[in-house]
Amino acid sequence: MTQYSSIQEAMHKGSGKVSVRGWIHRQRGSNKFKFVVLRDSSNIIQCIFEREKFDKKWDEIDHLQVEASLEISGQIKKDERAPTGYEIQVESYTIVGLSENYPIGKDQSVEFLADNRHLWLRSQRMIAILKIRSTVFHAIHEYFRNHGFFEYHSPIFQAVQCEGGAELFSVDYFGKKDVFLGQTWQLYAEPAIFALEKIYTISPSFRAEKSKTSRHLTEYWHAEMEMAWAEFKDIQDHAEGLIKQVVKKVLEKHGPELEVLGRDVKKLEPTAKKPFVRMTYDEALKVLDQKCKMKVQWGKDLRTIEEEKLTKLYDVPVIVTHYPKVVKAFYMTEDPKNPKTVQGCDVLAPEGYGEIVGGSHREHDLEKIKKRLVAQGEDPAQYEFYLDTRRYGSVPHGGFGMGVERLIAWICGLETVKDAIPFPRTMERYKP
Ligand code: 4AD
Ligand code: MG
C-alpha cells in the first residue's frame, strides 16, 4: 500500500520520493510537459508530467482538467519558480475522479459564487477562512474549559422568546404554533447554573431579521456562557479574556492563511496584547460628540454608524456598559446607582466591525422581571419555568453571547459575515 503524505509534509521532506493526492488547482500544458498544481487541505504544489515518460498515456494526461482528483508519486525537489518553492517530477499517477468544465474561474460575480457555494468552498480563500474558523471554535472550547466551565446544551426548539419576539422563526410543531427556533440558549441556561455553576456552549442561533447587512445571518453560531456568583465585571472580564485567547491562537497558527486573505496582522496584535477599552454608554455619547461630531440622544441605542465611528478611534475592542434600560432585554440588572440604566455590555470590534458580544448581569428581582416582560408585551405565565430560577436559591449571575461569524469576519478582515460560514443563511438565501 502506498503511504501518502500531505503536500505540506512532502515539502517538509524536500527531496526524494513522495506520494501525494489531491485535486488539480491549476493546469497548463505544452507538447512536452503538463504542469499541474495539485491542491490538498494542507497546501498546493507544482507537479510536472513529462511527455517522454508517459507517451502512451499523453492524451489522458493532456486532457486533465481543473478539480480532477489524482494520486501522484514522484521525486520532490526545490524549485524557486514553482508557486510554493517545490515541484514533483511525476513518476506514476492514478486518476481517481475526472472533472469537466469546472464552472468556477476568475472574476465571477458574488451571486454566481453564492449559487455555487458548494464548489467555492474549495477556493484558496475559503480554505483559509475555514481553517481559521476551525481554530476559533477550538480556542473557544479551550478558553472555557481552562476556566472551569462545563459544556452544556439548551434545546433549539423553544417555547419562549428572549431577545425580542419580532425576530423569531416559528416552527410548525405537530400543528402547534408556539414553538420557535432558539435565538439564544440563555433562558434554558440560567436554570442550569444551579447545577453546574459555570457553563458554556457553541450552538446555532436563529434570528428572523429582515436585515440585508454585512453583519446579519438568519442562522449563526453562538458562543455563550453563563456563571453563578458573578458580578457584572466578571462577565466583561471573561468576554475580554475569550476574545484575546482566540485572537492569540489565530495569530500563532495562521500567518499563511491571514496572508492569503490579505489581512494586516498589525491590526490584530493590539487585541492580543493590550487591555480593551471600557466605557459607559454615557461616556460613549460624550466621545462620539467630542471626537466624531455625532450627537446621540440619550436613550437611543447606538446605531451601526455610531459603533463604527467609536471603534475606529481605538486599536482594541471597546466594551460599552450601562446602556439605557429601554434599549436592552428584560433580564438585565438595573444599575443601583442609576436605575434608568442596566448592567449590560456590548463588546464592539475594532475597524468598524461593531457588536460581537452582548452580555449582562441578570436581574434577580422577580417583580421587576415580570414588569419588564409585560412592558415588552409578553405574558409572564409563559415564563414560569424561568422565573423559578429566582424563587429557589437565586444567586447573582450573568453571562454573554458572542456571534462567532462576526468575530471571524473581523479577525479575517472580511467584508461580510456571509464569508465566515460555509453555507450562509440570510433573508434572501437558503440554497444550496
Ligand atoms: O446581543 P444578543 O442578542 O444577546 C443574546 O442573545 C444574549 N441572550 C446572549 C447571552 O447573554 N447569553 O446576541 C449576542 C451576539 C451579538 O453580540 C452578535 O455578535 C451575535 O450574537 N448576533 C448575530 N450574529 C450574526 N447574525 C445575526 N443576525 C446576529 N444576531 C446576534
Ligand atoms: Mg446585542
- Nearest CA owner, ligand 1 atom 4: 358
Q: Is the CB of 243 under 6 A from ligand 1?
A: no
pLDDT of 247 higher than 80 = yes
C-alpha cell at 194: 444551579
pLDDT of residue 332: 96
Environment of ion ligand 2 (residues, CB < 5 A): 358
Superfamily, domain 115-420: Bira Bifunctional Protein; Domain 2 (3.30.930.10)
pLDDT of 165 higher than 80 = no
pLDDT of residue 302: 95
- Nearest CA owner, ligand 1 atom 17: 357
pTM over 0.85: yes
What is the fold of 7-97?
A: OB fold (Dihydrolipoamide Acetyltransferase, E2P) (2.40.50)
Q: Which residues pair with 398 in a beta bridge?
A: 227, 361
Q: Is the CB of 399 under 6 A from ligand 1?
A: yes
pLDDT of 164 higher than 90 = no
On average, the pLDDT of the chain sits at 96
Q: What number does the ligand 1 atom closest to the CA of 355 have?
A: 17
pLDDT of 357 higher than 80 = yes
pLDDT of 211 higher than 90 = no
pLDDT of 209 higher than 90 = no
pLDDT in tens, 86-134: 999 999 999 999 999 999 998 899 999 999 999 999 999 999 999 999 9
**What average pLDDT score do residues 126-146 get?**
98
pLDDT in tens, 381-421: 999 999 999 999 999 999 999 999 999 999 999 999 999 99
Is 193 within 8 Å of 199 (Cβ atoms)? yes
Residues 6+ apart with CB under 8 A from 380: 369, 370, 373, 374, 387
- Domain residue extents for the chain: 7-97, 115-420
- End-to-end Cα separation, the chain, in angstroms: 38
